[in-house]
Amino acid sequence: MHKWITFPHREGVCSKQAHADFPEEAIYERETGRSGFFGPASHFHHQHAPTGWIEWEGELRPRAFNFNLVEKAAQISPWAVPDLLFNNDCKIRTWRLEEKMDFLVRNADGDELLFIHQGKADLYSDYGHLTVGEGDYVVIPRSTNWRIEPLEPLFILMVENTDAAYSLPEKGMVGNHAVFDPAVLEVPSINQQFKDQYSEQETQVQVKRHGQVSVITYPFNPLDAVGWHGDLAVVKLNWRDIRPLMSHRYHLPPSAHTTFVGAGFVVCTFVPRPIESDPGALKVPFYHNNDDYDEVLFYHAGDFFSRDNIEAGMVTFHPAGFTHGPHPKAFQAGREYKKKFTDEVAVMIDTRHALSFSDEAQSVENQEYVYSWKSHPNK
């Protein structure tokens, strides 16, 4: 354990409260902080936007990827799609599926989190049958047998929690029922639909371990459970059941929107909410240095109010080590309080250790994204 060096101090012209009541001399606030908004932090007030660069050289840069264009995402097996962004803690992939899986899969490397970006399907697993559809998160515990039968074409964001399990965030003083009540979580059922798929037909299971796939063949369908009891299972949560924490006087940090906690990363969900109404409150995400975490945002639906030229199915990547924040038009719109409500839905993955990019990810990268903060881009 360690104790941070703390000495709250005020220097020069600054506001009394973070993210509110900025001095007229400097309307641009920048937060520097440690431990992903949980550690010590300082707030600078600048005369110019911290993202006002005119040129950028080197690999440490903001990136944008269009995951709609990943060519190898359409595969019958999730283990055949490429990793896109990855480190030792997590693997981020996209998977497109239109036809029924006639085999089972099992991830022996860690828990799998599916976010259903598009489509609808029946999911069969050791625990029973579950219907999943657009906007659902599905947590699949490590080494669970499962398969999917699409009812509509699927576009799935997959986030593997390598060598670890997903858990829920600590909700502290707001209580266990804030953000979402655990009662909204759904688990599979041993229903008639599940019983109808019992079979004595030969069935294969594709098991992934250390990134390698082994195939186990059974003379029957291993999804033959007649019942189960316990507190470990496939779990479903839809973003529409998330009731975000809000403050009309203070723009909450992204950590307030944490949905799942992995080992070395967190998964947050941004859902529609009222925009701060207090005259002095910041109304768009604040400029910040998230200096301990890489930040990945997958855009699911709506109008992404802090970004320009971003559409559903795209991903932005903001690495630790540089300042990022709203685009110029979004910042100005926030000052003018043009919108009273956000309608965006996005999945954020913040990783403690640096992410790498596969060739497939780099092939769908927008190389000009780094210049999108220019007020008058010339690139």
Burial class for 93, CB neighbours closer than 10 Å (0-12, 13-18, 19+)? buried
The pLDDT assigned to 308 comes to 65
The pLDDT assigned to 241 comes to 98
Whether residue 133 contacts residue 117, with contact meaning beta carbons closer than 8 Å, is answered with no
Domain ranges of the chain: 28-65+243-371, 73-82+90-170+181-239
- Apex CA 279: angle with CA 273 and CA 285, to 5°? 45
The pLDDT assigned to 377 comes to 42
Burial class for 106, CB neighbours closer than 10 Å (0-12, 13-18, 19+)? buried
For 256-267, letters b (16+ CB in 10 Å) and e give: bbbbbbbbbbbb
Q: What's the per-residue H, E or C state across 72-127?
A: HHECCCHHHCCCCEECCCEEEEEEEECCCCCCEEEECCEEEEEEEEEEEEEEEECC
CA distances from 213 to 84, 106, 129, 207 (A): 18, 9, 25, 5
Distance, in Å, from the CA atom of 182 to the CA atom of 133, rounded to the nearest integer, reads 19
CATH architecture entry for 73-82+90-170+181-239: Sandwich (2.60)
The pLDDT assigned to 306 comes to 56
Cβ neighbors of 201 (< 8 A, separation 6 or more) are: 220, 221
The pLDDT assigned to 88 comes to 97
The pLDDT assigned to 374 comes to 83
292: DSSP letter: T
Asked if residue 2 belongs to a known ligand binding site, the reply is: no
Per-residue pLDDT of the chain in tens (379 residues, 90 and over written 9): 777 888 888 887 788 787 777 777 777 888 787 777 777 888 888 888 888 888 989 998 999 999 999 999 999 999 999 999 999 999 999 999 999 999 999 999 999 999 999 999 999 999 999 999 999 999 999 999 999 999 999 999 999 999 999 999 999 899 999 999 999 999 999 999 999 999 999 999 999 999 999 999 999 999 999 999 999 999 999 999 999 999 899 888 888 999 999 999 999 999 999 998 988 888 888 888 878 899 999 999 998 755 667 899 999 999 998 888 887 777 777 777 778 888 899 999 999 999 999 999 999 999 999 998 886 444 3
Asked if residue 9 belongs to a known ligand binding site, the reply is: no
Whole-angstrom Cα Rg for the chain: 22
The pLDDT assigned to 173 comes to 92
Catalytic residue among 19, 43, 117, 251: 251
Distance, in Å, from the CA atom of 335 to the CA atom of 85, rounded to the nearest integer, reads 34
Whether residue 53 contacts residue 373, with contact meaning beta carbons closer than 8 Å, is answered with yes
Say whether 73-82+90-170+181-239 and 28-65+243-371 share the same fold: yes
The pLDDT assigned to 291 comes to 81
Q: Helix, strand or coil for residue 68?
A: helix
Indicate the fold that domain 28-65+243-371 takes in CATH.
Answer: Jelly Rolls (2.60.120)
- Whether 251 is catalytic is yes
Distance, in Å, from the CA atom of 256 to the CA atom of 173, rounded to the nearest integer, reads 12
Q: Concatenated DSSP letters for 188-240?
A: -B--HHHHTT---S-EEEEEEETTEEEEEEESS-S---S---SS---EEEEGG
Residues in a beta bridge with 86: 91, 356
Q: Is the pTM of this model over 0.75?
A: yes
Asked if residue 83 belongs to a known ligand binding site, the reply is: no
